[in-house]
Structure 1
Amino acid sequence: MGNVSPTPRELLTESLIFWSIGIVLYIGRMISRIIATGSIKRLYFEDYVMTVTFLIYTSLLTLIQVSSHYATNLMDPADYNQVLGDPQQVHDRIIGSKIVIGLEQCMLFSTWGVKTCMLTLFWRLTKNLRLHLYVKIVAIYVAVGFVVIMVTYYAVYCRPFSQYWAMPVEDMQCATYQNYSITQAVFNISSDAAMLAVPIPLLIKAHMKKTKKVLLVCIMSLGVFTIVAAILNKVFNFASPLTTTYQIWYIREASTAIYVANLVCLWPLMRKIFGFVSTQPGSDPNRAQAGQPNKGVSRSAGTAGDSQSRSSTFLERDRLFRGFGERRTIERVNDSGGIEKVNGHHAVALELSKARANCDLEAGGSHNSQVL
């Protein structure tokens, strides 16, 4: 693109393509959440944040289209005499400069909205882990960055504020936004890099199929492109300060961030589409099928199937506890009435033994209550 601003058609084409993918992923996210929670009334806080963020993102793309039809006070000083001699050009450039203010705010809010959405998800996933402290630190850093950017934009870099749309502009910072761009880039890129470090230990320790783990790694790797887009956005902004090439990269950066935040929540919907959903949430479809009585089968056989399904459920819970049992303890009441802490594996074994006993008794069998 060089020193040539993108045409309105180029901006429109990119906006339509990226927004179309974004709306599909957003709708898929909401459907997936409803499947996972069982009701639209049980959506998580980050789902509402994403809804507001997507509306702001849509406004960003709309303002970019409107802005492409207007010039701004960003122009070569050699053209001042010609432009200032035409009142219509002056009027149009003032309107275009005001549109850019709204455009910049939409970009800032959509970018930080995605950060809020992801941090809320990480906050919940790491609540009982040591990694939670790191998430808290990143969240504070993101909040501080947002405040610093807003304060410097409105009260520091361009004074008085009306200089953002002044014709002619007295301070070129009010037209090029270079100091603002540096501040925004520092907090935006550094916070994105810090957030990318959160899911890495979670994926390493997670007990899941390799295919799902690889899929999640691929999704998270899109966050790297978000950082690259943010860097290229500023590179073009500094290399071609008198063009609007940065708007192309605004579209790409904001869109990729939206994609990542929505893709990480699509797993329940993907399981539903490809037939991997069982009759009970969180259970294996083979177990659900084994535990479901068929027509013509006696009631005792059905009860035995139910007990087998329940045993499988407790076996599954046992495997989940084994992943965290080394660092956690479980309290139980001992025979003397006091509270004692036992190793997570022993506690699970006790509960599993009791569960098997109940299942066998319900099936008409016998069980010797023996601690494993």
Structure 2
Amino acid sequence: MNSSAPTTATDLAVEARGLVKSFGAKGSNAVRAVDGIDLEIRRGEVYGVLGPNGAGKTTTLKMLATLLPIDAGSATIFGVDVATEPHQIRQMVGVTGQYASVDENLTATENLYLFGRLLGLSGSAAKRTAADLLERFGLEEAASRQIKNFSGGMRRRLDLAASLIARPPLIFLDEPTTGLDPRTRGQMWDTIRELVAQGATILLTTQYLDEADQLADRIAVIDRGAKVAEGTSGELKASVGSSTLQIRLTDKSHTAMAAQLVTNVLGEEPVLTPEAGGLNVPLPDANRAADVLIALRQASLGISTANVAQPTLDEVFLAITGRHTEETDQTETEEVAV
């Protein structure tokens, strides 16, 4: 699904057409980590890329950031070709990966100073920038502490600070809150919102559905290297029904029987969570929930809980891909190849 708002080339921070990346032996044995993905990311928005481990999220980001060559297709960033002008692209983007890129044996100040000098800042400008970023990310009290003594959340904030030294207009955040506690995740979300308010464009990859829901203006769902859906959070939720009937059975062994009954009543299949004896039933009309419940009762299928709610992104992802975001397809994981 695509957002209907028209865009022009000057509106776009990122435009990609038919991106392909393969790993492994050539020919039929090659694994396509990215298989013909198109992207249009508007200036000043947060664009979320949602998918399970191994879906192709990180590989797509690495191609756009010039960290991996593009096998097929094309991409531009602010109108500049990624394949032919990699040096210019690197001057326009900041990248924060899944794992902190800082030196554990240096202090926070030393890390940021080093990155500043590597990016061409004078000694005084690098010191000033390091101090400003440490204050901005709430790390000034830890400025002289070695990174190996930092918590995971502090490392992630410092890594994000390092990617902002050159004040890039486009920031790639690859699963920036992986492994963080809820409080630190919230702090990172606030920082991301501040960056957008200051004019940045952000490409955010994540497997956390609530993160995409909270931050992204638009979301692309990627599965097995292909983009399978796109839209705002509301549009994606509406694609699986205006309401969802969430049912838990008293006997989970009856899940398949209940699913068939629901399909007979409504004409479409529910999303199953068999391990919990659950069914999430998309409803074109919330009043149809009564039809389902009556049919289950007549079939003597006991219900422990039932409620009607707006669909969640988790239900959207299950409906589109048939699996949860945390599930990994071992035959197509980009971790093997990158």
TM-score between both structures, scaled by the size of structure 1: 0.20
Greater strand fraction, Structure 1 or Structure 2:
2
- Give the structure with the higher percent helix: 1
Which structure: larger Rg?
A: 1
* TM-score w.r.t. length of structure 2: 0.22
